[in-house]
């Protein structure tokens, strides 16, 4: 059960990385995060259903599309909402959330759908005496890769430097020749790729339905806060903690799983509001 | 010698408040000009207008013959105009070396690179992996200057280099300037300390309440002239 | 040198505001007397509509107070809306209190709960505060869904009003709705015109500067949060007196906040008359387009996005700037007599 909680955390961290990235670079809270994840799942499903693609191909093709969509979204819609006031970005992303949910409802109806994994989701493997699902292990591995990749991007590349610089001091970063609007758009583009990955995996692991978005947002958000802002590995660990707590809650009583997660989150907020592994931010 | 910077009737506003009331300014290649004036006289605003941080009408400022008013700061730095901002303003999330590398973001070619900077300020090489804001004030100022130099500018604007620094540190910083100007880089130095300003420059311009109140060769302006222009009596 | 000071006067009203005041009073009187002059058949339908819109409006007004004046954007105010509803129901069904009387008590209960909640919620700022309040609302929803005494997940009915005759109940509900609406507007208006209101505006403009001037920022924020919770609870209790049936999903639905955001954004954040304009537009849109279900909601979402990006001050704010009107002025003008 412990392991199940941790593997669940792997998926949650994929939900959360994009949120953490967008907030870290431009202080933008994407309240449509969960809905975009669901959209990603549906897009992959549509690729299979409408264009007859193999599920894996549909998922892979989604990634560059997500990159482009994220770039465009930030450049043309969200860049205009940035500033000292958090309200415009909240209202716009909240509006997007409603648009996506209802758009999906119209296009796909309210039925939960999933992505065909060709049997992968029922395969299991025996490790150390425990029988673990192959898909959850795969998801966990992808989550670790993504977190490590994101961390490396930020710490070791010129783009990562640019991300950190522009979030520290946008004006001076522009003085160095950086175009903030473009950099922000790149950040969101990467976040959307992560969102697409999360959506595809969620559709594989269980089902997606148009109204799932808000719940996924809350999971992502809780993972970020529990882990501490400013740290991708922190978000990863936060997601583990959340997944674990929910599993424990589910074990006690099926109705208490989510409630336990929320309560643990609120308790942590009171006791240690800066999260488990906060990075000091200037 | 052709003019590197020409400003004619430059006006600048912060919202509705006017900060510059028609500045005429010129700077030749490789010239070192000091800008002095009391707090709020408009010195920093002037630098911000040159670098694009404050928007001004298109042709009120020319750099190397081309109008730069209203251009984004990134375009201006790509043309060869860099600034060491007031208060250093290093990136706290970046190390010393990363801050310096950010200065090279604009990608201009030239003699300045990491190796050369480390030769000029050896202490920075020693601390290159430290978070930039963990250094002392003087060292941070070196990083800030180095960061601006990394863009290989033709004109370097220095806004209050001596702010908050001990006299001995100020001396150390200004002693490094000849290494910068020897190769023909022009400098505009905004300085609170008038005697330092006169010492390091060939020409002094005094701002008073958003206007130029005095201008002349550094070695020929008298105390009284400067005082009068500074305080506007 | 003698200083010649022109006679100056600090005025609060504008001509447009005086006109608007009279019009509002007329509308209010008309609304209050509706049961007497409206035709028999359509009156109950109109009254029910008014009650519903009144609830939306009061909730939006409180959200506006919290976000526009308190600077706290919350996506979780529905927590208090639902709490007000459930408190009223429990008082009515379980404690034998007259539901109409229970409405203000439920509002006070909601306000009381807001205090300990603030200890948690205020740990967060900005966008994360917004989502955090949503989490809290979700906790409330899940908690009530797990309480069999109020019907658990499927909810329950307000049995305490079973004995009253239908038309009496509807008239009373309507009258109460009008009273609550007036009270809500009056409360917010007076609060903002007072010295405390000015302090709030100062905090909104620059928190650190206000603090240095001696304004107790945290206490003010708590005050606004509690007042907003009271109003939300009032709206919730009123709504479910009119609706007679409550369930966790209806009571703690995030759509309440979504609609409030919509009304306030369209009407203009931070201005008192904004929610009024927004509620009217929302009601009109509801009337004509709600049959289109998902397309209607989609349209609302798009409209909110477009207005936020292009009309930063809301539609009413744009009107105000173009024609210089202000219906409920809380700013003070310096008027120099010639």
Q: How far apart are CA B151 and CA B96, in angstroms?
A: 16
Asked, for residue A10, whether it belongs to a domain, the answer is yes
Domain count within chain B: 1
Enclosing domain of residue A50 = 2-211
pLDDT in tens, B10-40: 888 888 888 899 889 999 988 999 999 888 8
Structure tokens at A103: 């758009």
Q: How far apart are CA C37 and CA B23, in angstroms?
A: 72
Domain count within chain C: 1
* Confidence tier at B228 by pLDDT (50, 70, 90): confident
- Cβ-contact A251, C106 below 8 angstroms: no
In chain A, which residues have their Cβ closer than 8 Å to the Cβ of B77? 175-177
Asked, for residue C1, whether it belongs to a domain, the answer is no
Q: How far apart are CA B127 and CA B108, in angstroms?
A: 25
Structure tokens at A116: 């065909």
Enclosing domain of residue B203 = 3-231
Pairwise CB contact (< 8 Å): A214 & C134: yes
Torsion angle (degrees, nearest 10) of CA C23, C29, C32, C37: -110
Q: What per-residue confidence (pLDDT) applies to C330?
A: 55
Pairwise CB contact (< 8 Å): A95 & C312: no
pTM over 0.95: no
* Confidence tier at B49 by pLDDT (50, 70, 90): very high
The winner for highest mean pLDDT among A219-223, B194-198, C50-54, C68-72 is A219-223
Asked, for residue C35, whether it belongs to a domain, the answer is no
pLDDT beyond 50 at A42: yes
pLDDT beyond 90 at C109: yes
pLDDT beyond 60 at A225: yes
Q: How far apart are CA B123 and CA C306, in angstroms?
A: 53
Q: How far apart are CA B65 and CA B28, in angstroms?
A: 12
pLDDT > 90 in chain B, percent: 49
C107-143: b or e for each residue (b if 16 or more CB lie within 10 Å)?
A: bebbbbbbeebbebbbbbebbbbbbbbbbbbbbbbbe
Q: How many C-beta atoms surround the C-beta of residue B79 within 10 A?
A: 17
In this complex, is the C-beta atom of A281 within 8 Å of any C-beta atom belonging to chain C?
no
Q: What per-residue confidence (pLDDT) applies to A6?
A: 85
CA C59, C63, C65, C66 torsion: positive or negative? positive
- Average pLDDT value for residue range C133-158: 88
Q: Which of A2-16, A249-263, B74-88, C106-120 is least confident? A: A249-263
Residue B210: partners with Cβ closer than 8 Å, 6 or more residues away: B18, B19, B20, B21, B23, B41, B42, B45
Whether A and B touch (3+ CB pairs < 8 Å), yes or no: yes
Residue C331: partners with Cβ closer than 8 Å, 6 or more residues away: none
Q: How far apart are CA C65 and CA C71, in angstroms?
A: 8
The size of chain A, in residues, is 282
- Cβ-contact B130, B87 below 8 angstroms: no
Q: What per-residue confidence (pLDDT) applies to A115?
A: 81
* Confidence tier at A53 by pLDDT (50, 70, 90): confident
Residue B112, SS3 per DSSP: coil
- Cβ-contact A176, A165 below 8 angstroms: yes
Q: Concatenated DSSP letters for B2-38?
A: -EEEEEEEEEEEETTEEEEEEEEEEEETT-EEEEEE-
Give long-range contacts, CB 8 A cutoff, 24+ apart: B163-170.
B163/B86, B163/B87, B163/B192, B164/B137, B165/B137, B165/B138, B165/B141, B166/B138, B169/B137, B169/B138, B169/B141, B170/B196
Among chain A, residues having any CB pair with chain B shorter than 8 Å are 158, 161-162, 164-165, 167-169, 171-179, 281-282
- Cβ-contact B74, A177 below 8 angstroms: yes
* Edge-to-edge order in the sheet of strand B203-208: B81-84, B155-159, B186-190, B32-37, B203-208, B211-217
* Confidence tier at C9 by pLDDT (50, 70, 90): very low
- Average pLDDT value for residue range C285-310: 85
List chains adjacent to chain C, taking adjacency as at least 3 C-beta pairs closer than 8 Å. A
Asked, for residue C315, whether it belongs to a domain, the answer is yes
CA A140 to chain B, closest CA, distance in angstroms equals 29
Least CB–CB distance from A165: residue in B53, B91, B133: B91
CA A188 to chain B, closest CA, distance in angstroms equals 20
Q: What per-residue confidence (pLDDT) applies to A282?
A: 31
Q: What per-residue confidence (pLDDT) applies to C23?
A: 62
- Average pLDDT value for residue range C231-235: 93
pLDDT beyond 70 at C328: no
- Cβ-contact C249, C86 below 8 angstroms: no
Main-chain dihedrals φ then ψ at residue C238, nearest 5 degrees:
-60, -45
DSSP code of B164?
Answer: T
Asked, for residue C264, whether it belongs to a domain, the answer is yes
- Cβ-contact A208, A110 below 8 angstroms: no
pLDDT > 90 in chain C, percent: 21
Q: What per-residue confidence (pLDDT) applies to A251?
A: 85
- Cβ-contact B151, A176 below 8 angstroms: yes
Structure tokens at B216: 């002349």
Q: What is the CA radius of gyration of chain B?
A: 17
- Cβ-contact B210, B21 below 8 angstroms: yes
Q: Concatenated DSSP letters for C284-305?
A: HHHHHHGGGTHHHHHHHHHHHH
The size of chain B, in residues, is 233
Domain count within chain A: 1
- Average pLDDT value for residue range A45-60: 84
Give long-range contacts, CB 8 A cutoff, 24+ apart: C333-338.
C333/C10, C333/C11, C333/C12, C333/C14, C334/C8, C334/C9, C334/C10, C335/C8, C335/C9, C335/C10, C335/C11, C336/C6, C336/C7, C336/C8, C336/C9, C337/C6, C337/C7, C337/C8, C337/C9
Pairwise CB contact (< 8 Å): B74 & A165: no
Structure tokens at C333: 């003008």
Asked, for residue C322, whether it belongs to a domain, the answer is yes
Is C214 buried (19+), middle (13-18) or exposed (0-12) by CB count in 10 A? exposed
Enclosing domain of residue C306 = 20-30+42-336
pLDDT > 70 in chain B, percent: 99
Structure tokens at C220: 């003010």
Q: What per-residue confidence (pLDDT) applies to B101?
A: 94
pLDDT beyond 90 at C212: no
Q: What per-residue confidence (pLDDT) applies to C17?
A: 55
Asked, for residue C37, whether it belongs to a domain, the answer is no
In this complex, is the C-beta atom of B83 within 8 Å of any C-beta atom belonging to chain A?
yes
In this complex, is the C-beta atom of A218 within 8 Å of any C-beta atom belonging to chain C?
yes
Asked, for residue A192, whether it belongs to a domain, the answer is yes
Paired with B90 in beta bridges are: none
Q: What per-residue confidence (pLDDT) applies to A254?
A: 79
Q: How many C-beta atoms surround the C-beta of residue A111 within 10 A?
A: 8
Asked, for residue C151, whether it belongs to a domain, the answer is yes
Q: How far apart are CA B146 and CA B154, in angstroms?
A: 14
Q: Which residue has the tokens 């505001």?
A: C17
Residue C336, SS3 per DSSP: strand
- Average pLDDT value for residue range B78-83: 93
- Cβ-contact C124, C225 below 8 angstroms: no
Q: Concatenated DSSP letters for chain A?
A: -HHHHHHHHHHHHHHHHHHHHHHHHH----TTHHHHHHHHHHHHHHHHHHH---HHHHHHHHHHHHHHHHHHIIIIIIGGG-SS-SHHHHHHHHHHHHHHHHHHHHHH-S--B----TTGGG-EEEETTEEEEHHHHHHHHHHHHHHHHHHHHHHHSHHHHHHHHHHH-HHHHHHTT--HHHHHHHHHHHHHHHHHHHHHHHHHHS-B-GGGHHHHHHHHHHHHHHH-TT-HHHHHHHHHHHHHHHHHHHHH-GGGHHHHHHHHHHHHHHH-TT-SSPPP--
Q: What per-residue confidence (pLDDT) applies to C2?
A: 45
- Chain C interface test: which of A87, A88, A110, A262 (most C C-beta within 10 Å): A87
In chain A, which residues have their Cβ closer than 8 Å to the Cβ of C146? 255-256, 259
Q: What per-residue confidence (pLDDT) applies to C338?
A: 46
Asked, for residue C142, whether it belongs to a domain, the answer is yes
What is the ipTM for the molecules in this complex?
0.88
**Helix A257-271 × helix C126-145 angle, to 10°:** 140
Torsion angle (degrees, nearest 10) of CA B179, B185, B191, B196: 40
In this complex, is the C-beta atom of A83 within 8 Å of any C-beta atom belonging to chain C?
no
Q: Please report how many Cα atoms fall inside a 13 Å half-sphere around the Cα of residue A69, on the Cβ side.
A: 17
- Cβ-contact C260, C59 below 8 angstroms: yes
Torsion angle (degrees, nearest 10) of CA B208, B214, B219, B223: -60
- Average pLDDT value for residue range A99-110: 91
Nearest residue on chain A to B131, alpha-carbon basis: A282
- Average pLDDT value for residue range A147-167: 94
In this complex, is the C-beta atom of A87 within 8 Å of any C-beta atom belonging to chain C?
yes
What CATH code is carried by the domain that includes residue B129?
3.40.50.300
* Confidence tier at C76 by pLDDT (50, 70, 90): very high
Q: What per-residue confidence (pLDDT) applies to A195?
A: 96
Q: What per-residue confidence (pLDDT) applies to C327?
A: 53
Q: What per-residue confidence (pLDDT) applies to C175?
A: 84
Asked, for residue A269, whether it belongs to a domain, the answer is no
- Cβ-contact C100, C252 below 8 angstroms: no
Asked, for residue A221, whether it belongs to a domain, the answer is no
Q: How far apart are CA C89 and CA C102, in angstroms?
A: 8
- Average pLDDT value for residue range A32-55: 89
Q: What per-residue confidence (pLDDT) applies to C11?
A: 47
Residue C232, SS3 per DSSP: helix
């Amino acid at each position: 059960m412990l392991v199940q909680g941790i593997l669940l955390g792997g998926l949650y961290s994929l939900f959360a990385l994009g949120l953490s990235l967008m907030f870290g670079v431009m202080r933008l809270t994407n309240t449509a995060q969960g809905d975009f994840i669901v959209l990603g799942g549906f897009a992959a499903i549509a690729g299979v259903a409408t264009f007859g693609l193999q599920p894996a191909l549909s998922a892979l093709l989604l990634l560059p599309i997500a990159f482009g969509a994220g770039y465009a979204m930030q450049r043309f819609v969200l860049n205009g909402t940035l500033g000292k006031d958090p309200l415009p970005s909240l209202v716009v992303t909240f509006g997007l959330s409603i648009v996506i949910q209802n758009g999906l409802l119209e296009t796909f109806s309210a039925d939960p759908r999933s992505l065909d994994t060709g049997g992968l989701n029922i395969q299991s493997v025996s490790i150390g005496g425990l029988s673990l699902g192959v898909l959850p292990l795969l998801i966990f591995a992808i989550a670790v890769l993504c977190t490590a990749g994101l961390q490396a991007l930020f710490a070791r590349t010129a783009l990562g430097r640019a991300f950190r610089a522009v979030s520290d001091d946008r004006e001076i970063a522009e003085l160095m020749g950086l175009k903030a609007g473009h950099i922000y758009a790149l950040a969101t583009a990467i976040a959307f790729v992560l969102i697409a990955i999360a959506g595809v995996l969620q559709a594989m692991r269980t089902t997606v339905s148009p109204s799932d978005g808000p719940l996924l947002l809350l999971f992502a958000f809780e993972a970020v806060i529990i882990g501490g802002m400013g740290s991708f590995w922190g978000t990863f660990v936060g997601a583990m903690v959340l997944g674990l707590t929910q599993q424990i809650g589910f074990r006690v009583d099926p109705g208490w799983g989510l409630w336990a997660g929320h309560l643990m989150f609120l308790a942590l907020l009171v006791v240690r509001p800066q999260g488990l592994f906060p990075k000091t931010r200037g | 010698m052709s003019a590197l910077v020409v400003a004619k009737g430059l006006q600048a506003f912060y919202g509705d408040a006017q900060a510059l009331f028609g500045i005429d300014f010129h700077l030749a290649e490789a010239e070192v000009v000091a800008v002095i004036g009391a707090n709020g006289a408009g010195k920093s605003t002037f630098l911000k207008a040159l670098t694009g941080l404050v928007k001004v009408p298109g042709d009120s400022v020319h750099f190397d013959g081309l109008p730069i008013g209203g251009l984004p700061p990134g375009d201006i730095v790509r043309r060869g105009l860099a600034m060491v901002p007031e208060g250093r303003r290093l990136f706290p999330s970046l190390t010393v070396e990363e801050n310096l590398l950010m200065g090279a973001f604009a990608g201009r070619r030239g003699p300045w690179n990491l190796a050369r900077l480390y030769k000029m300020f050896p202490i920075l090489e020693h601390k290159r992996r430290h978070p930039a804001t963990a250094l002392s004030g003087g060292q941070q100022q070196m990083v800030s200057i180095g960061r601006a130099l990394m863009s290989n500018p033709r004109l370097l604007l220095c806004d209050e280099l001596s702010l908050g620094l001990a006299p001995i540190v100020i001396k150390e910083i200004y002693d490094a300037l000849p290494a910068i100007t020897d190769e023909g880089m022009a400098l505009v130095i905004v300085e609170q300390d008038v005697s330092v300003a006169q010492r390091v420059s060939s020409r002094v311009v005094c701002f008073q309440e958003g206007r130029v109140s005095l201008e002349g060769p550094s070695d020929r302006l008298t105390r009284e002239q400067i005082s009068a222009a500074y305080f506007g009596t | 040198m003698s200083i010649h000071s022109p006679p100056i006067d600090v005025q609060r009203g504008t001509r447009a505001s005086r006109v608007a005041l009279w019009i509002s009073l007329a509308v209010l009187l008309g609304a209050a007397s509706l049961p007497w002059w409206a035709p028999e058949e359509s009156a109950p339908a109109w009254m029910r509509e008014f009650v519903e819109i009144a609830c939306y409006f009061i909730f939006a007004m409180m959200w506006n107070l919290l976000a526009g004046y308190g600077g706290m954007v919350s996506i979780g105010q529905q927590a208090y809306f639902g709490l007000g509803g459930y408190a009223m129901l429990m008082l009515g069904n379980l404690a034998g209190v007259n539901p109409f009387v229970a409405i203000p008590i439920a509002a006070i209960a909601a306000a009381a709960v807001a205090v300990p909640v603030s200890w948690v919620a205020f740990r967060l700022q900005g966008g994360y505060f917004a989502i955090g309040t949503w989490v809290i609302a979700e906790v409330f929803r899940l908690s009530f869904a797990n309480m069999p005494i109020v019907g658990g997940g499927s909810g329950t009915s307000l049995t305490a009003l079973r004995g009253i005759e239908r038309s009496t109940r509807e008239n009373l509900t309507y009258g109460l709705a009008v009273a609550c609406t007036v009270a809500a507007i009056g409360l917010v208006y007076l609060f903002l015109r007072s010295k405390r209101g000015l302090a709030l505006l100062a905090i909104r403009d620059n928190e650190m500067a206000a603090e240095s001037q001696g304004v107790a920022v945290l206490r003010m924020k708590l005050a606004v949060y509690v007042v907003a919770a009271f109003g939300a609870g009032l709206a919730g209790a009123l709504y479910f007196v009119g609706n007679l049936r409550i369930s966790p999903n209806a009571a703690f639905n995030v759509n309440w906040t979504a609609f409030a955001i919509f009304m306030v954004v369209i009407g203009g954040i931070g201005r008192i008359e904004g929610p009024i304009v927004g509620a009217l537009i929302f009601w009109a849109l509801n009337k004509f387009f709600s049959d289109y279900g998902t397309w209607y909601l989609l349209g609302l979402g798009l409209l909110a996005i477009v207005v936020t990006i292009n009309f930063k001050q809301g539609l009413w704010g744009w009107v105000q700037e173009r024609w210089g009107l202000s219906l409920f002025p809380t700013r003070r003008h310096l008027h120099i007599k010639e």
